[in-house]
Amino acid sequence: MAPLAPFGRYILVFDLDGTLIDSAPDIAAAVNALFGELSLPQVAVDLVRRWIGDGAPKLLERALAHVGARQTSAELFERFSIHYGENVVKLTTVYPDVPETLAALSDAGCRLGVCTNKPFKPTLAVLEAFGLHRHLGAIIGGDSLPQRKPQPEPLWEVIRRLGGEPPQAVLVGDSAVDLACAEAAGVPAIIIPSGYGMVAPEAPITAARFAELRDVLARL
């Protein structure tokens, strides 16, 4: 592996779903397990992938609306969380080059954190299951603060916990939610599109795959 160039921005904050991991199959399985209990139609994983990004309650709201259910997300969220919590890493996979790249960035002196709208408990479970937590100095989930992305406060909090400030930071994500959060927080975003989210982001800084991240960082 080629030596890493020094980065002017060394506080690197990552989104989770759609950026580090492909969790849509497990999330879809949880939705469909819940819907099976309620005799509701099953939903395709590709649809669930599009609904991810604004937090689990919003995802469930979109799924219920799609099948025309009368129940609300608030009524069913606890049961959905149980289904997902029991199978959080059954079908989920880490994207190619993620473990190696995180390790290399950490070894180069970068400080790494995660800022996600996924609730904290399953976030930590996934990161620990794949050994990614060992590279991270701060983790903020969708229920860690009163705010969630695209509001800037979760990103600012990760940066603060990593001992940095916005001028030293970059957000690496995949969605329009990540891009809007970074813009609100006053930091650049590197977007690696993955098909997650309702709207494709129109980002000025992109990478086609995770392995390109170090080269993109070197150009900032």
DSSP string, 104-146: HHHHTT-EEEEE-SS-HHHHHHHHHHTTGGGGEEEEE-TTSSS
Nearest to 92 by CA among 16, 22, 19: 22
In angstroms, rounded to a whole number, what is the distance separating the alpha carbons of residues 18 and 92?
Answer: 11
Number of Cβ within a 10 Å radius of residue 160 = 14
What global pTM score does this model have? 0.94
| 147 pLDDT tier (thresholds 50, 70, 90) | very high
Mean pLDDT of 155-171: 97
Mean pLDDT of 18-23: 97
- Residues 6+ positions from 70 with CB-CB distance below 8 Å: none
| 1 pLDDT tier (thresholds 50, 70, 90) | very low
CA 182, 121, 129 angle in degrees (round to 5)? 95
Mean pLDDT of 120-147: 97
Q: Which CATH architecture has domain 24-86?
A: Orthogonal Bundle (1.10)
Residue spans of the domains in the chain: they are 11-23+92-219, 24-86
Whether residue 2 has pLDDT greater than 80: no
Residues known to be catalytic = 15
Backbone angles phi, psi at 34, to 5 degrees: -65, -45
Q: Which CATH architecture has domain 11-23+92-219?
A: 3-Layer(aba) Sandwich (3.40)
pLDDT at 130: 97
Nearest to 6 by CA among 168, 137, 166: 168
Mean pLDDT of 40-67: 96
